[in-house]
Chain A
């Protein structure tokens, strides 16, 4: 059934070897993955298994040692605005206000202020920060900063959204809230997402597909389809289906942790 959908991102035997001070380090050992249009992929796996490396390669911020990534059949070389990224550290420009941050990518596309402003405002509303358009990042809480970062990524209307533990630095409550908002947005637009997390709960509630990676060397260990119905709600976390999926994912991840400790 999945086969007749369009492959949005093709990861074709990607290998990444870092040439560090402690010698060569195989971060990714031949990763193959097809990400279909409208999929929400969550990637879990022990620390150091190469999740961020893979995301950075898809983003075009890193080059694979061998192999390649294709978006809509076109080989990735460098960054491109069809791929948006949300970083764990927010990465807002501290000298720009919320509005100017969200307008940043639009202005780079050559838009004038008059053209960019309404678009920025639309996404600022989406993340419910209308009251903070003229605030500087230092005046925002962590959750608000990440909302701005999400709005900024959405504003340039990427076709694929890459997120590297975007909620990793937030408290549990804020995290839950941002998850709910993200689910809501995804249900509306079904934008292809590639989302890294350490939190198995988060992975299962967000994803249509969870990818479990293993370390040393980094590769894909298992792919688990998440067939939970929509609309997804926090209450769903109490259901048996959710629990079963969570246990399945957790089992795989836990095995990896044990591997690493050996």
Chain B
């Protein structure tokens, strides 16, 4: 039987909190970028211009068919070099955080775009006809009539996806970034208390994600009522 010793946790809290900030930062950026880029991808996918809809379909299928961990590794290996070339950064600059963020954003937009596409299609065709009949252009009909209704219908799904995303951020450990999971791992490894730290980290993930999913369910109930 393992002898539990939780004593290394209190002292490590500030370090763990820094890790949590990185996890939340990546989550927030990936949500925003995922929704913006995902909306554009969804509009392309639904466009009557073949080239656009093929591009979007290809993008979505590509990112949905490779493991996130691999995408993160690619970006970990490629983005720092790209940044060096594009921005003239000195070689060896720490670009792990931006590269993780870019990787997440591009990967998650593929999932967001599918949610958003379904949301757009859930808006009755008559609404688009009514917008056009009032003289609105395609852009105005989308911006003023379709997207606001689509997003309102999608809130629970978007929240669920955000929860998954937050959990997925733990995968940035492959680039040795100290996100919340990475930080817990490092502390546990250092003090020889890996089991305790990982149990603690698991409990924190559970409490956060489960409360968020309760929130999503509550919203869904209220919207459905």
Do A and B come together as binding partners? no
